[in-house]
Every structure is written in C-alpha cells, then in structure tokens.
Amino acid sequence: MELAVITFWQVVTLFLLIFTGALSVKTGILPKEAKSILANLLLYIVLPTMVVNSYLVEYSEEMSRSIGQAFLYSILAITVGLAVSVLVHRGGAGGVKPLCRFGGAFANAAYMGFPLIQALFGAEGLVYASAYVTVFNVFLFTVGVGLMSAENTPRSILKSILSTPVIFAVVIGLLIYYLRIPVPKVLATTIGYLGSMNTPVSMMMTGMLIAACNMGGMLKNRQLWKTIAFRLLVIPAVCIALFMALGLRGPVAQVVLLLEACPVAAITSVFAVRYQQADDFAGALVVVSTLLSVVTLPLCALLLTM
C-alpha cells in the first residue's frame, strides 16, 4: 500500500506541474514559443547540473564496487529497452516513428523512480539510481539523439557527444566522486538548486505542449497505446526475465529494474521540440504513460521486492 501511495502522490504532483504549464499558455502568461527557451534551459544548464549533483556524496570503497555493478546492470537494462523499442517500431508508425522508438526506450526514472527507490532501499539505493541516470544520459545524448534526429552515423554521434554538456557533466561527476575532490558548500548548493529544476521545468513544458494539441485526437492514436504498453509492461517484463535468467539479483538489480519500469521520460517532449518532431504526440506519451504508471509501477516494485 505504501508503494501505491508514494506513486500516486508523485503522479498528482506531476499533473499539477503539467496543469501549471498548460494554464500559463492558455492565460497568455507564457507564449507558445517559450517551449524552445525551456528546452535549451534544460539541455544546457539543468540536466548537466543534475548529473553532477548526483555524485556529490561521500566516497565509500564498498559503495564504489556496487556502483560499478549498477553501471553494468544499467547498460544491460537500457540496451534491452532500446533493442525492444527499435524492433517493435521498425516500421509502420509513419511520422511519429522516431518518437515511438524514443518514448519506448527511455524512462522517466529520475522523478518517478527515485521516491520509490528511497522508500525501499534508502540512501544507498539512490546512489545506485544515480549510476543508472548516468548511463541513461550517455545513451540519451548519443543513441537517443540518433533516434530523434535520424543522424546515426559514427561522425554525427561523436559530434553529439562532443557538443553535449551532459556528457561532460558525467565525466566531471565521476572525477569528483572517485578522486574525492572537495566541492565548496556554496557551489554544491547552487548545483543542487539548478539540478532540482529538471522536473518542474520539463513537466511545465509538457503542459505547454498539451495545451496546444488535440488531446482527444491523440488518445485515438494506436501508436500511442502501443508505445505505452511496451514502455510500461513489455520492456520491464523482458528485463526482469533476462536478469533472472542471468542470476542477477540483489538490491542493485532491483533498483535498476524498477527504474527501467518507469513511464515515458519527460525529456521526450524536450527532444520533440529540439528536433522538430510531433511535440503534441510526445506530450501525450508523457501524460498518459505517467497516469497509467500509478498502477504499473507499484506492482513492479512489489514483484521485485517479494
């Protein structure tokens, strides 16, 4: 019951933020064009600081070994999710195919998963979750960019890596943690404040997109429901089965699998704007999958911790 309550209130909070974004457009407080500004704010300032902030924790030899394990498990789970999503949406999705692939592959782990992780595993679980988010961001700004921009040549991927602040943030965060570099409190506080903007800004942006689209029409789109079904049900089931077959168990595996079971990533809306995809479809993916995760996420958590 506690898991269901935690998830429910997370979803309520998200929808209040989405409503705020929609209301800001409907009342004229923010112009529709502001979504591009918010997208740049997220990609170039908020996300990099969020990544660095996740590694501003006390160093531990034992924890470091577990973090390495979390990295390997995260690579496996996210690779499986990507493979399933790409295979399922290899044709027939028309103009929204890139969004279907992207939305199916990338989960909203940082916001939806972290409260459950904290409730189940405490502070130690959040460190493993930070490793997942690091791997997630590396995939997001390499393979994810390729999926959304149709630029998936080695040269374009390398260019994406070298021009993406989040990738540099990953390197900086790992250096701070493993070299035990002290960070002044005032700087750490500033980084924390900037990183905490991720959820409010991305959810408000989703609300702005929803305000400008025909949500009723979106709900009739079969590709929407197909993508959400694979994101919430099929991909977590495949990952759980694979981990069991490989004998990968314990808290680290549970944390990674729970994060992989989260709804469509909020950054799907941001990337849709950035790469000029169907941002109304992206907003619908985020909203509907988040709502349905009230049921699927607690069930997955219960299954993993039994």
Domain region containing 249:
2-305
Name the nearest CA neighbour of 227 among 113, 120, 86: 86
In one letter, which amino acid is 56?
L
pLDDT exceeds 80 at position 120: no
pLDDT exceeds 70 at position 93: no
**What pLDDT band is residue 92 in, cutting at 50, 70 and 90?**
low
| Residue 28, Ramachandran bin (φ over 0: left; ψ between -120 and 50: alpha; else beta) | left
pTM above 0.85, yes or no: no
pLDDT exceeds 70 at position 252: yes
Residue 226, classified by CB atoms within 10 Å of its CB into exposed (0-12), middle (13-18) or buried (19+), is middle
- Kindly report, residue by residue over 165-177, the tens digit of the pLDDT: 877 888 898 899 8
How far apart CA 279 and CA 237 sit, in angstroms, is: 28
How far apart CA 140 and CA 4 sit, in angstroms, is: 29
Q: How many domains does the chain have?
A: 1
pLDDT exceeds 80 at position 88: yes
Average pLDDT over residues 193-215: 80
CATH number of 249's domain: 1.20.1530.20
Whether 256 and 73 have beta carbons less than 8 Å apart is answered as yes
